[in-house]
Amino acid sequence: MNKERLLQRFLQYVTCASETYQEREFCIMMEEELTSLGLHWERQEIGEMFGSNGWNLHAILPGTGAPLLLCAHMDTVAPGYGISPILRDGVIYSDGTTILGSDDKAGIAAAMEAVQTIVEKGLPHRPIEFLLTICEENGILGSKYADYSKIISKEAIVLDNEDVGHLVNQAAAYMKIHFSIQGKSAHAGVSPEKGIHALKAVAECISGIECGRVSEISVVNVANLLCPGQTNIVPEKADFDVEVRSYEEEELQSIVQNICGHVEKVCQAWGAKFCKTENRVSNAFCIPVTAPIIEKTCEAMRSIGITPVIEQTLGGSDITWLVENGLAAINIGVGMQEVHGCKEHILFEDMISTTEVLLRVLTT
């Protein structure tokens, strides 16, 4: 591997803005890189389905043996424009006014460096597939709507976890619910008693929903309360969102039913009406620790002095839809820290280690 090239590649990636729904420029950059390495690639034009100007990229480098899919997402959270990376004492930061974008461009950089090293040195390797996705940060949409008929691999490594050496083999079921509460408007000064206060009804709904870690295996959160209007009008409509995550489907469904029952009861007491929209973001899964992809990856980690840690997560990532579509997939750490904020950073040595692990898995 060329460490300086790895560093420059990463810096180039993060300075090319690709906030969710605005990935086009970075998609084009990746097409140019894939072409330069001799990989055959295709666009999966799915962005228009959910308002993105980008597309998934599927690429393959022929080899010998069982193929392996490498997956990472090209989009970032905001603020992701004008990123100015700073290398200080072996750690890469943003300038503090934006995110860094190591989530997930550190994963892409490590994968591309590993493949370039293989191509340049003519190393024997297994067939290598890439699935680079869009809109992961807002609903895991790129991998959800990917064209899996083109995927030849039965195993996959997702490069979208934090600590190097940590390997996710189990993730939670994840559901979002949008509630819309309909009250009745009235003049707040002249005839407030004729109104049905949608905002106060929603406030009571939210106050009765337990949030945070509601059990050892489940979490709940409430967000996006919206009730625009004027102060002299009794609010007639208010909306909010709830998300529920659980490692067990039965518990997830129980929590969702309890929340919906609570909202219905509150609305009845206020004389309001409500409607809800449920969105299944992902299903729960567990890849056995004896799966070959786990054993091979752990062996590669140990070979460079990293002790593997197999773990579960309540977070979402592309791995969910890979598993849903029949791949034995794991999500490995690449070193990103304090992601989704302006303090995001990554130890460059961790990017080097990630690249080394990939080289060993791909060439073994």
227 close to 238: Cβ distance less than 8 angstroms:
yes
Average pLDDT over residues 232-236: 98
Nearest to 321 by CA among 332, 331, 312: 331
pLDDT-based confidence at residue 315 (cuts at 50, 70, 90): confident
CATH number of this structure's domain 3-171+284-363? 3.40.630.10
The C-alpha atoms of residue 306 and residue 354 are separated, in whole angstroms, by: 10
pLDDT-based confidence at residue 21 (cuts at 50, 70, 90): very high
Antiparallel, parallel or unpaired: β 273-282 and 173-182:
antiparallel
| Helix, strand, coil fractions of the chain, as percent rounded to 5 | 35, 30, 35
pLDDT at 282: 85
The pTM assigned to this predicted structure is 0.87
Decide if pLDDT at 102 tops 90. yes
Domain boundaries, the chain: 3-171+284-363, 177-282
Q: DSSP letter at 307?
A: P
pLDDT at 302: 98
Average pLDDT over residues 293-308: 98
pLDDT at 65: 97
pLDDT tens-digit profile of 111-135? 999 999 999 999 999 999 999 999 9
Decide if pLDDT at 240 tops 90. yes
pLDDT at 281: 84
The C-alpha atoms of residue 267 and residue 275 are separated, in whole angstroms, by: 10
Which residue would you say has higher pLDDT here, 281 or 331?
331
The C-alpha atoms of residue 277 and residue 177 are separated, in whole angstroms, by: 6
pLDDT-based confidence at residue 58 (cuts at 50, 70, 90): very high
Residue type at 341?
A: G
Average pLDDT over residues 169-188: 96
pLDDT at 11: 98
Instruction: Give the gyration radius of the chain's Cα atoms.
Output: 23
Decide if pLDDT at 184 tops 80. yes
Are 3-171+284-363 and 177-282 equal in CATH topology?
no
pLDDT-based confidence at residue 222 (cuts at 50, 70, 90): very high
The C-alpha atoms of residue 108 and residue 158 are separated, in whole angstroms, by: 10
Determine the topology of domain 177-282 in CATH: Alpha-Beta Plaits (3.30.70)
Decide if pLDDT at 139 tops 90. no
pLDDT at 297: 98
